[in-house]
C-alpha cells in the first residue's frame, strides 16, 4: 500500500511509499484502460495521465449521471469508437463509489485501486491511499496451477471478474473486459479484493460482498499471533452514513473481529471481539479545527460529508478520534483515504509523538472506497439470511499471509512497464526472504506455526524497506520479517480533547480558514484545474475572482 503524493508538505513525507503519483502508474503504451470513479474531471485526468488518451480502448465507469462535463474532452475518442461511458444503475441512496484503473499492456495487466476521486484536489492536496500490482499473462505453468486448483483460478481473479459482471456494462464491453482480465495470472496477488455491489444478496452471495465478505476472508486466514486476540480495531473514513448503534457494535464489529490466532502450545483459537465500547473500536474522524487549518481550508470539508444528524448522534461521541496525520507528515492534508485495521501496541501502551511511540503491529489493513455506512458495507436482514447493499465499492485487504506468499512467488517483482525480469526464485536470497518463504509455506500447509512475516506501522526515522529483525525462532526458524505500512494516523488514535467538535459539513463554523476564506464565502476548487498548476496559483486566482487580497 502507498500514500499518494501530496503537494505542500515536507519532502520527506513524499519519499518512497509515502508519495506515489498517479501519472507514474497510468502511463506507457496502454492497450485497454478501464477507469472507475465516482467523480471524474476528464480535462484534469488527461492532463495528469496523458497516455490514457492514446489507449486503443478506454472505458469510463462513473457515478455522475450523463457525465456531460467529460464529453468535450473525450469527443474525439467516442467518435472514433475508442471510448465508452457507462453509469451503472444503483438503488436509492446508493452511489457508484469505486475508484480504480485496470490497464492492459503488451506484457501484462496493471490494477490500481485507490481512495481518490479523479479530480485535482483529491490527487494533489489530500491524504489518499493507493494499492497497485502488475500481473503477467498466463503461461503453461499458470494453466497447470489453475487446473490443479479445485476452486479454479485465484480468488483475486474470481472476485475481480465477478465485480466486473455486476457493473452491467453493455454486453460487448463486459465480454471485452472479461477477456482482458482472464488472460492474466493473478496467483501472486498481494491482496484480497473487498467489494460491494447493489442488491439483496442471499445464500453463498452473502460472503461475496460488503462487510460479510471481509468477515469471510478474515475467517479463512491461517492465523495471527496471540497478541491480536481481543486487540482493538480502528476505522478511519471520510463520510458517515446514518448508522445505528446495533449495526456498528454488533454486526460491523463482528466482521472486523473475525479471524484466528495461535494460542498456547500452538492451539488455534478465535481472535474474538475487542473490548466493548470505544476501548475496542476507535473511529478516526477529523475535527472541525483540522478542516479549518488544512491546506484546503473550509472548502476541503466538502469532501468529508458528515451531516450533523449523523455525526452528532450521542452514542458516537466517545468513539471519535482526531485525524492527526503527523505520522506521515500530513497534519495539514485532509484525509480522503478510507481504512480499517486491527492493531497491537508493543507493551500494551501507546500515545506520545509518532517517533517516540512503541512499535505498533498491524494484523491486517483494508484500504479502499468504503466509508462508514450501511449503504457501502451492507446491512444484514431477516435474521442474517440476506445482506442489503446500496452502493458500488472497491477496496483491498492486505494480510501477512498473502504478502509472504507473494514474496516467495515466481512472479515477485513483475512489471508491465519494465523489461527487468521478476525476482522469481530469489526470495530466499534477499533480506528476510527466508522468513517470507517459511511464512508462505506454513500458510499453504495450514501448519499451526507462528507467522514469520508481520506488518508494522511505519514511523519516521525507520526504513521503508522490509527487514528481518529479532533472533531465530525455535528449531532455527528464520527471524520475523517486518513489513512497514504507511498508516497516516496515530495508533492508538488520539481521542478528542475537551471542547473539540467533530466536523459536520452542514454545521456552523466561524472564522477564517488557513486560506483566508470564511465558511460561507469560500470557493469550490474541485473542477476546472489542470495538473501542472500549483495549488498556490489556484488559491490566488480564487482570491482575485472573489475580490479578496
Structural domain contains residue 467:
no
Q: What is the mean pLDDT of residues 95-123?
A: 97
When comparing pLDDT for 475 and 206, which is higher?
206
Distance CA 369, CA 84 (A): 23
pLDDT of 484-529, one tens digit each?
A: 999 999 999 999 999 999 999 999 999 999 999 999 887 777 788 8
Helix (H) or strand (E) holding 481: strand 480-485
Q: Is 102 left (phi over 0), alpha (psi -120 to 50) or beta?
A: beta
Q: How far apart are CA 58 and CA 404, in angstroms?
A: 34
CA–CA dist 56, 32 (Å, integer): 6
pLDDT of residue 306: 97
Count up the domains in the chain and report the number: 1
If you average pLDDT over each of 42-51, 335-344, 431-440, which comes out highest?
A: 335-344
Please spell the DSSP secondary structure of 290-351, one letter per residue.
Answer: HHHTSTTGGGGGGGS---HHHHT-GGGGGGEE----GGGT-TTS-B---EEEEEEEGGG---
H/E stretch holding 269: strand 268-270
Task: Count CB neighbours of 220 within 10 A.
Answer: 15
Taking alpha carbons only, the member of 147, 167, 2 closest to residue 84 is 167
The CATH number of whichever domain residue 129 belongs to comes to 3.30.870.10
Q: Residue 11 domain-assigned?
A: yes
For the chain, what percent of residues have pLDDT higher than 70? 86
Q: In this predicted model, which residue has the larger pLDDT, 328 or 71?
A: 328
In the sheet that 83-86 helps form, which strands lie side by side, from edge to edge? 2-3, 129-136, 108-114, 100-104, 32-37, 57-62, 83-86
Asked whether residue 177 is assigned to any structural domain, the reply reads yes
> What confidence tier does 145 reach under pLDDT thresholds 50, 70, 90?
low
Question: For all residues of the chain together, what is the average pLDDT?
Answer: 89
Per-residue model confidence (pLDDT) at position 440:
52
Query: Dihedrals φ, ψ of 205, to 5°?
Result: -65, -20
Q: What is the pLDDT of residues 135-144, one digit of tens each?
A: 999 998 876 6
Q: Which residue has the higher pLDDT, 475 or 165?
A: 165
Lowest mean pLDDT among 73-82, 213-222, 387-396, 488-497: 73-82
Sequence-separated (6 or more) residues with CB below 8 Å from residue 384: none
Separation between Cα atoms, residue 2 and residue 21, nearest integer Å: 10
* Confidence bin at 480 (pLDDT 50/70/90): confident
CA pair distance 78, 42, nearest whole angstrom: 13
Residue matched to cell numbers 506455526: 449
How many Cβ atoms are within 10 Å of 536's Cβ, its own excluded? 12
Binding-site residue positions for substrate: 99, 338
| Domain contains 126 | yes
What gap in Å lies between CA 390 and CA 242, rounded to an integer? Answer: 13
What SS3 class is residue 289?
helix
Nearest to 390 by CA among 402, 379, 401: 379
What is the Cα–Cα distance from 56 to 81, expressed in whole angstroms?
10
**Residue 517 is assigned to a structural domain of this protein:** no
Note whether residue 303 is domain-resident.
no
Residue 1 has pLDDT above 80, yes or no: yes
Note whether 52 and 76 are within 8 A (CB): no
Which cell is 512 given? 477564517
pLDDT at 473: 52
- pLDDT above 90 covers what percent of the chain? 75
- Spatial CB neighbours of 44, under 8 Å, sequence gap ≥ 6: 118, 119, 120, 529, 530, 531
Q: What is the pLDDT of residue 425?
A: 38
Contact by Cβ (8 Å): 217, 192: yes
Are 267 and 450 contacting, i.e. CB atoms less than 8 angstroms apart?
Answer: no
Q: Which residues contact 467 (CB under 8 A, 6 or more apart)?
A: 431, 432, 481, 482
Q: Report pLDDT for 458.
A: 97
pLDDT at 429: 38
Are residues 468 and 479 in contact, defined by beta-carbon separation less than 8 angstroms?
Answer: yes
Q: pLDDT grade, residue 536 (50/70/90)?
A: confident
Q: What would the pLDDT profile of 4-51 be if each residue is shown by its tens digit?
A: 999 999 999 999 999 999 999 999 999 999 999 999 999 999 999 999
pLDDT, tens digit (0-9, with 9 covering 90-100), for 262-318? 887 778 999 999 999 999 999 999 999 999 999 999 999 999 999 999 999 999 999
The answer to whether residue 505 is domain-embedded is no
Residue 187 near residue 411, CB atoms below 8 Å: yes
Band of the pLDDT at 434, cuts 50, 70, 90? low
Angle between helices 400-407 and 433-445 (to 10 degrees): 120
The strand pairing partners of 4, in sequence order, are 20
Residue 441 forms part of a structural domain? no
Q: Looking at residues 62-72, what average pLDDT do you find? A: 69
For residue 10, give its domain range: 2-182
Active site residues: 97, 336
Please list the helix, strand and coil fractions of the chain in percent, rounded to the nearest 5, in that order: 35, 25, 45
Task: Provide the pLDDT for residue 353.
Answer: 46
Amino acid at each position: 500500500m502507498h500514500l499518494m503524493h501530496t503537494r505542500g508538505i515536507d519532502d520527506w513525507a513524499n519519499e518512497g511509499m509515502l508519495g506515489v503519483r498517479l501519472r507514474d502508474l497510468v502511463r506507457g503504451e496502454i492497450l485497454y484502460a478501464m477507469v472507475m470513479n465516482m467523480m471524474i474531471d476528464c480535462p484534469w485526468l488527461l492532463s495528469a495521465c496523458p497516455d490514457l488518451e492514446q489507449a486503443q480502448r478506454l472505458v469510463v465507469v462513473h457515478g455522475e449521471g450523463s457525465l456531460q462535463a467529460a464529453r468535450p474532452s473525450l469527443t474525439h475518442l467516442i467518435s472514433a469508437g475508442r471510448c465508452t461511458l457507462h453509469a451503472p444503475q444503483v438503488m436509492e441512496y446508493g452511489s457508484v463509489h469505486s475508484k480504480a484503473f485496470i490497464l492492459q499492456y503488451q506484457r501484462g495487466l496493471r490494477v490500481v485501486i485507490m481512495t481518490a476521486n479523479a479530480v485535482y484536489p483529491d490527487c494533489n492536496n489530500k491524504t489518499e491511499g493507493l494499492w497497485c500490482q502488475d500481473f503477467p499473462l498466463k503461461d503453461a505453468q499458470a494453466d497447470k496451477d489453475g487446473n490443479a486448483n479445485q476452486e479454479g483460478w485465484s480468488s483475486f481473479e474470481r472476485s475481480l471478474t465477478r465485480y466486473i459482471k455486476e457493473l452491467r456494462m453493455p454486453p460487448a464491453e463486459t465480454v471485452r473486459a472479461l477477456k482482458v482480465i482472464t488472460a492474466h495470472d493473478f496467483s501472486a496477488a498481494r491482496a484480497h479484493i473487498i467489494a460491494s455491489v447493489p442488491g439483496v444478496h442471499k445464500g453463498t452471495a452473502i460472503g461475496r460482498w460488503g462487510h460479510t465478505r471481509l468477515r469471510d476472508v478474515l475467517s479463512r486466514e491461517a492465523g495471527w499471533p496471540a497478541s491480536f486476540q481481543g486487540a482493538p480495531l480502528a476505522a478511519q473514513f471520510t463520510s458517515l452514513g446514518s448508522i445505528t448503534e446495533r449495526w456498528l457494535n454488533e454486526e460491523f464489529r463482528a466482521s472486523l473481529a473475525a479471524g484466528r490466532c495461535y494460542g498456547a502450545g500452538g492451539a488455534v483459537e478465535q481472535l474474538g471481539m475487542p473490548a466493548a465500547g470505544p476501548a475496542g473500536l476507535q473511529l478516526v474522524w477529523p475535527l472541525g479545527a483540522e478542516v479549518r487549518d488544512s491546506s484546503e481550508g473550509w472548502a476541503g470539508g466538502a469532501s468529508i460529508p458528515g451531516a450533523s444528524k449523523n455525526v452528532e448522534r450521542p452514542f458516537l461521541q466517545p468513539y471519535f478520534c482526531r485525524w492527526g496525520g503527523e505520522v506521515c507528515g500530513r497534519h495539514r492534508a485532509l484525509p480522503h483515504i478510507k481504512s480499517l485495521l486491527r492493531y497491537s501496541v508493543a507493551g500494551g501502551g501507546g500515545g506520545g509523538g509518532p517517533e517516540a511511540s512503541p512499535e505498533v503491529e498491524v494484523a491486517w489493513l483494508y484500504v479502499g472506497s468504503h466509508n462508514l455506512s450501511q449503504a457501502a458495507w451492507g446491512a444484514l436482514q431477516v435474521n442474517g439470511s440476506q445482506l442489503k447493499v446500496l452502493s458500488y465499492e472497491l477496496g483491498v485487504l492486505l494480510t501477512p499471509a498473502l504478502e509472504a506468499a507473494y514474496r516467495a512467488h515466481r512472479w515477485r517483482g513483475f512489471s508491465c512497464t519494465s523489461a527487468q525480469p521478476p525476482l522469481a526464485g530469489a526470495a530466499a536470497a534477499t533480506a528476510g526472504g527466508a522468513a517470507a518463504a517459511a511464512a508462505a509455506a506454513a500458510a499453504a500447509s495450514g501448519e499451526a506455526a507462528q507467522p514469520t512475516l508481520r506488518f508494522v506501522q511505519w514511523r519516521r526515522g525507520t526504513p521503508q524497506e522490509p527487514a528481518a529483525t529479532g533472533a531465530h525462532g525455535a528449531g532455527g526458524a528464520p527471524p520475523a520479517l517486518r513489513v512497514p505500512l504507511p498508516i497516516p494516523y496515530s495508533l492508538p488514535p488520539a481521542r478528542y480533547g475537551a471542547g473539540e467538535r467533530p466536523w459536520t459539513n452542514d454545521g456552523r463554523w466561524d472564522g477564517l480558514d488557513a486560506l483566508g476564506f470564511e465558511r460561507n464565502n469560500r470557493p469550490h476548487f474541485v473542477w476546472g484545474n489542470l495538473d501542472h498548476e500549483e495549488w498556490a496559483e489556484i488559491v490566488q486566482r480564487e482570491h482575485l475572482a472573489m475580490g479578496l487580497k
